[in-house]
Amino acid sequence: MEAHGCDAAALRNLPALRALFDKLIADLRLHPIGRASWHRFPGEGGVTGLALLAESHITCHTFPEYRSLCLNLFCCRPRPDWEFEPYLCREFGAGAVRVRRIERPYYEGAAAAHG
């Protein structure tokens, strides 16, 4: 998922990015393995985040200088659609959001192993 035209200050807002991860994890019933890791680049730089999941992982990278946010959610089992566009427009001021969903083969054994 990519969001463009975002508010540069919002892309440096670590609590807002943590809230995004928390909302995704809760709404999609994901299972984090430990706490998310975050790195804030110095000065006017952006933020990189990673949350390991029993299902795979979530990552985000923000680029305030380009007013963009890149978010990746990898899951080993099907999940419902999530309202990325309204959330990112509201919370990060995105002017355009592009979501690409790639369906992977689904195996029943993966669902049993990952709840």
pLDDT in tens, 14-68: 999 999 999 999 999 999 999 999 999 999 999 999 999 998 999 999 999 999 9
For each of the domains in the chain, give its residue range(s) and CATH number, in order of start. 2-114 (3.60.90.10)
Which residues are CB-neighbours of 24 under 8 A, at least 6 positions away? 30, 58, 73, 82
How far apart, in whole angstroms, are the C-alpha atoms of residue 71 and residue 50?
A: 10
pLDDT at 101: 80
DSSP 8-state secondary structure symbol assigned to residue 41: P
pTM of the model: 0.86
What is the b/e burial string over 103-112, where b = at least 16 CB atoms within 10 angstroms of the residue's CB? eeeeeeeeee
How far apart, in whole angstroms, are the C-alpha atoms of residue 111 and residue 92?
A: 33
- Is residue 41 within 8 Å of residue 16, measured between CB atoms? no
pLDDT in tens, 64-97: 999 999 999 988 877 788 899 999 999 999 999 9
Both tokens of 50, joined, read 């990673």
